[in-house]
Amino acid sequence: MVNGKKIGVISLGCDKNRVDTEKMLGILKKRHVLTSDIMDADIVIINTCAFLEASRKESLNEILTVGEEKKKGNIEKIIVTGCLPQKFHGDLYDGLFEVDAFLGTDNYGLINEIIDRVYDGERVNAVCEGGGDSGIDRVLTTDNYVYLKIAEGCSNHCTYCLIPQIRGKYRSVKKETLIDEVKKLGVIKELILVAQDVTKYGEDLTPKSSLPDLIRSLSALDNVIGIRLLYCYPEGITDELIREFQGNAKMMRYIDIPFQHADDRILKLMNRKGSFNTYLNLVERLKREISGIAIRSTFIAGFPTEGEDEFNRLLDFIKKAKLFNAGFFSYSKEEGTPASKLDGQIAKSVKTKRVKKLYAEQKKVVNRNFKEMEGKVFSVLAEGFDEEKSVYYGRAYFNAPSIDGVVYFFSGEEVKTGECYNVKIIKGYDYDLYGERI
């Protein structure tokens, strides 16, 4: 049994991957020493993403970079975990000889056992070994907010997406397990619920549960101050969930709804269940019934067969929906997905041009939103001081970590990170707001 090794971890990809990493760190900490300095580590673990070609390239580049340090004798062992080995475990094992072990998305809990095996001289491909519950103990890697992964996998089968192939079908975590996990995390200013689709939570459990039921249980915990929702599929936003926003003081008035497109024909090709009108009606209803709600979304431009008419339909939706924020991505042809086999693939130059047009239109919406916010006062959670701008910065309820902007603010008095302050908005610039503490 190997103990006391210094271990550095590189976590790539989404916030769901981050939760996996934090649970793996919780297991590693029981027998080894964690270090944030990769060059000081005996073992480097790279938790990878394989969702898109760009993320796969990033993962491979990290592996090769760390591999060079191993060749120099600066690192003893390399272990690769997560989505990349889960999908390409055979190819990686045969091609990346600098890596000592591979684990998939379902066996992070085996990590200490795998370390023992590689130090016994074995080169391990544990992706298909299964087992290895990662438990609920975590080493948090974020400040002021915590991600809670409430389900694994996805059963929506959008035609462009690899997640069901990589992560499997949708599997909710039992409510009791989630509550026990949250209780161990101390005071949580912002608990962010994540899954590929949080609205489907509990449908697969026995007895069945629901996202509103889970929210009510988490809201009852004294250590939870606020709750934010990410990745709510539009068809899963029910009357009951809306009532939770209206009546639950801990619910942050923010929702991320990945619409992905707005043209009816393209949505059908994507295997999405909505339409231009149903999506627009949903946005208008949420704004009408939940005061001040910030709605964020993501969209794909250049899906196969998307012509100018379909793209203009999407552009028209952006103009009319007036979302608080949105992200736009070029369609990525992923081998093994139904969409990759469609005729009418769009040229890269056309996709890039369309993404730029979408961002330009959304920027007009953002400018109007920010203009309406001038003079208003919001509670801002302070996160630090920007030396270059000589101002403090933080996040209001309409700023999700990493994906939205921040609020920069002046203060004549000292500001403590992790505390909330009332900030009067002066102006908006780019995707950030500027104000003063009052």
Q: Do the domains 145-370 and 6-125 match in fold?
A: no
Res 51: pLDDT: 84
Which pLDDT score, from 0 to 100, does residue 91 have? 82
pLDDT, residue 174, reads 96
Neighbouring C-beta atoms of residue 411, cutoff 10 Å: 16
What local confidence, expressed as pLDDT, does residue 223 receive? 97
pLDDT in the model for residue 134? 77
Crossing angle of helices 348-373/308-321, nearest 10°?
Answer: 10
| pLDDT single digits (tens) 188-213 | 999 999 999 999 999 999 999 999 99
State residue 383's pLDDT score.
Answer: 96
CATH class of 374-437: mainly beta
Give dist(CA 139, CA 23) in Å, integer.
7
Residue ranges in the chain whose pLDDT is less than 70 = 132
Q: Which residues pair with 190 in a beta bridge?
A: 145
What is the CATH class of 145-370? alpha beta
How is the chain split into domains, by residue range?
A: 6-125, 145-370, 374-437
Give the Cα separation of 207 and 146 in Å (integer). Answer: 27
Place of tokens 């890269």: 348
The domain 6-125: what is its CATH number? 3.40.50.12160
For residue 389, the model assigns a pLDDT of 93
Residue 1: its pLDDT value, please?
Answer: 86
